[in-house]
Structure 1
Amino acid sequence: MELALANSRPYGADAVPIAGKLPTVDIRAALPHAAPTLGGLMRLLVSTYRLSRGPGRLMPVEFLQHRLWDRELMPGDRARFVGLAAQSLFHRTTCDYGWRAVADDKLIAQATLSAAGIAAVPEITGVAHPTRGLDGAAALRSIDDVVVFLRDPSQYPLVAKPIDGVFSVGVIHAVSVDPASDTIRGVTGATVPIPAVAARILDYRGGYLIQRALLPPTELGRVPGGRLCTVRVLVLLTDAGPVIHRAALKIPIRVNEADNYWREGNRLGAIDLATGEVTRVMTGKATSLRRDPIHPDTGCAIEGVTVPDWNDLRSLVTRAAPLFPGIRTQSWDVAITDHGPILLELNWGGDLYLHQIAHGAGVLDDAFCSHLRACGFQGRLPG
């Protein structure tokens, strides 16, 4: 359920990702670009067939989605790129499915972090659910409760999201309330009546949590025009401790409610793990996938930017990761704020596609393969 504010950027139903569903790609448009680079259509078919049967189980549509025919843009070994089928298999090998409920439920995950003394989490100001609640947060049980809450100017800026939500679907990022028109104004500039927002929030069975919105640091915030950026961090929980495998900066554009890459126009930046520098920035998919180092709204360079408090972010993630021992492949979303890095959520396994697009290389490098073997994976791997 998407709770986009009125007048926000429209998108087709196919744009919203569904876990386990192959991406939608215009194959007819992509083939004329892909086939000549591999020596013709037949060789393209043979190549994609072999990849679909290889360790990464990359389906033909995923080959096109990654624009793997373009060796300049995607120089990594094709056999090391992972498709959804292999990703699912790898995550089931490295992660206990019972722990998925802990990661997916934002109230449980944040309570786990807070109980361990990790304070770098968002402030939850309200919980909209028939029975659930949280100490210090308003219990929003009815439409009237939510309406009264949303009419209070002191609650802004705020972010409301489904407790069990994924892909930022259903997220509301509101910056202010207008008592005269009884509307809230979203981060994209769109407005929507408060009663309508309250009704939609209460209509979601899984419940909503409402958080105090986080603000970006001045230097990084200038790049996307004052918007918050987050880092997706891939962590491998090994017997020797947590290891950060890859990281990517998610950068929103003005018309999008959130920074998730599936939202058209958002950017994804590869981060150098040693320095925190953004080394390349990507946008689009398939025929539209391209490198774009400049933010389209502000004209500011994204490539070459260093993520603020990078070492603190690394320390925060490696401190939090062992609290979830049943999830040995972890994907953390960490907000870059004016008060340092803040843990937003943990994903069970997570989407490996993001790191492959950002870095131009498949995740099945030697370190990831060793991780899979250590977790008991018996299948074929590269190398």
Structure 2
Amino acid sequence: MLDQAHPETEKILTDRRLVKYKPFAKLVEAAAREQKIGAGRIFREIVGLTARKAGLTADEYFAYRVYRADLSRTEKREFVGARGSFELNRKLSPPGLTQMRGFLGDKFGFPALLQQTGLPTTEIQAAFTTDRFIGSLPALKNATDIVSFLSETAKFPLFGKPVKGAQALGTIRIDAVDAASDIAKLHDGRVVAISALSEEIVRDFPDGYLFQSVVEQHPVLTETAGEILATMRMVTVIEDTAPTLLYALWKMPSPKAMSDNFWQDGSMLSWLNVVTGQVERCVTGGGSDQKEISIHPVSGKDLLQMRMPHWAEATDLVKKAHALFPVNGCLGWDVAIGKDGPLIVECNTNPGHDFYQIGTGRGALNPEMQAVFSRVIARNKAMIASLTKRKYKIGR
């Protein structure tokens, strides 16, 4: 029987909104001390960078360490925030061409398509939904159905996530349940009531919630980064006719986390060589707390000697997946390396370029990246012009 001495009574599902951030004054103080620069200089830079159209917010200025003294004024202006990433991605995949954004981001529908085309993806065991047809999978209509599924038929370990969501909002990993005691054991060590978990899912995510089998990760990655799935963010673009890999990062989870999202304290982010899959640089922490590391703090493995297994297959996989929707100039992929090879976890139609900026220490609009973006945008304009020219007119 699972230990139920201290069942969790507060919010159960992962929620980034509960993270406490440093006050603005503390951020300024820490950045000034770290870089040995005056607070006045920081204030002037924030005003200049946040005043731009689609510029950085003050929080993003600190999160991406744009205050660094080694960055020139031009290099500082190459950084983009969430709004800037969104505007950039609209140019790379303009709405006038792309009509499938909702589908690509659908965490149930898109994996179903991948399975149909033979591309490897995650296994869905069941889904909470009040209006969706999900074929032969169990459709859980309410909290009672969820309790029954978790207590009777679910295969553990199990990973749960909303059909619509991002940044690990609402996720959970369940390692075991004791149905007789209404208890579920989570991977982060908490013990919670199955009924309370089910009610929270129905309340917070009425648009749907998925229950997936936990991916059995490649042993090399588990030995290095721990048991929790450490996925890669791989961003592909189409400059001419075929997708290419623009950049890739490896997200290593905190030992105490249930997912690999970088915002969770203790998580690590590695920038990967797109040709070899070799780790080029690894960081942990944000802002003035960020540290560049070479040794994993738990496993003791040398991260800079790490090369992603099945790299060629992973690169080929995301290229094929992108080629299913060639009108999209830019797409982001969350890719896991399972024991038998790579599989796609999710597709991102608006891949925030924050991972690139944190992992490399450079702005996403640096000259090399801008050259690629310009070619993608030029391709899009040509496609739009061709579609306009070929439009049929009804009547005289």
Deviates more, 1:158-167 or 1:147-156: 147-156
**1:135 counterpart residue number:** 135
**2:294 counterpart residue number:** 293
Cα distance 1:5–1:155, how it changes in 2: closer, same or farther (>3 A)? farther
Cα distance 1:208–1:329, how it changes in 2: closer, same or farther (>3 A)? same
Write the deviation string for residues 154-195 of structure 1: whole angstroms up to 9, x where unpaired.
511111111112111111211222245332212212221211
Distance 1:114 1:171 in 2: 23
Cα distance 1:53–1:235, how it changes in 2: closer, same or farther (>3 A)? farther
Distance 1:79 1:54 in 2: 9
SS at match of 1:159: strand
Q: CA deviation at 1:267?
A: 0.8
Q: What is the total number of aligned residue pairs between the two structures?
A: 366
Q: CA deviation at 1:102?
A: 1.0
Write the deviation string for residues 263-309 of structure 1: whole angstroms up to 9, x where unpaired.
12211111111111112111111111121233333333333211111
Deviates more, 1:289-298 or 1:236-245: 289-298
Write the deviation string for residues 174-225 of structure 1: whole angstroms up to 9, x where unpaired.
1222245332212212221211222222332111111111111111101232
Distance 1:145 1:303 in 2: 47
Deviates more, 1:323-332 or 1:336-345: 323-332
Deviates more, 1:286-295 or 1:224-233: 286-295
Distance 1:111 1:10 in 2: 25
Structure 2: runs of 5+ lacking an equivalent: 1-7, 383-396
Instruction: Give the aligned residue type for 1:30.
Output: L
User: Scaled by the length of structure 2, what TM-score is found?
Assistant: 0.82
Instruction: Give the aligned residue type for 1:65.
Output: A
Residues 125 and 154 of structure 2 are in contact (CA less than 8 Å); yes or no, is this contact kept in structure 1? no
Structure 1: runs of 5+ lacking an equivalent: 17-23, 378-383
CA-based RMSD: 3.0
Per residue, is there more helix in 1 or in 2? Answer: 2
Question: Which of structures 1 and 2 has the bigger CA Rg?
Answer: 2
Instruction: Give the aligned residue type for 1:85.
Output: R
Residues 239 and 372 of structure 2 are in contact (CA less than 8 Å); yes or no, is this contact kept in structure 1? no
**2:199 counterpart residue number:** 199
SS at match of 1:303: helix
Distance 1:220 1:239 in 2: 34
Cα distance 1:372–1:43, how it changes in 2: closer, same or farther (>3 A)? farther
Aligned pairs for 1:121-270 (under 5 A) are 121-152=121-152, 155-203=155-203, 204-270=205-271
**2:24 counterpart residue number:** 27
Distance 1:62 1:223 in 2: 30
Distance 2:139 2:52 in 1: 51
Distance 1:38 1:328 in 2: 42
Identify which of 339, 347, 371 aligns with 2:376.
Answer: 371
User: Scaled by the length of structure 1, what TM-score is found?
Assistant: 0.85
Q: CA deviation at 1:9?
A: 11
Instruction: Give the aligned residue type for 1:93.
Output: K
SS at match of 1:222: helix
Instruction: Give the aligned residue type for 1:159.
Output: F
Distance 2:67 2:299 in 1: 31
Q: CA deviation at 1:104?
A: 2.1
SS at match of 2:175: strand
Distance 2:42 2:71 in 1: 18
Write the deviation string for residues 318-348 of structure 1: whole angstroms up to 9, x where unpaired.
0001223343221110112112111011011
**Residue identity (%):** 27
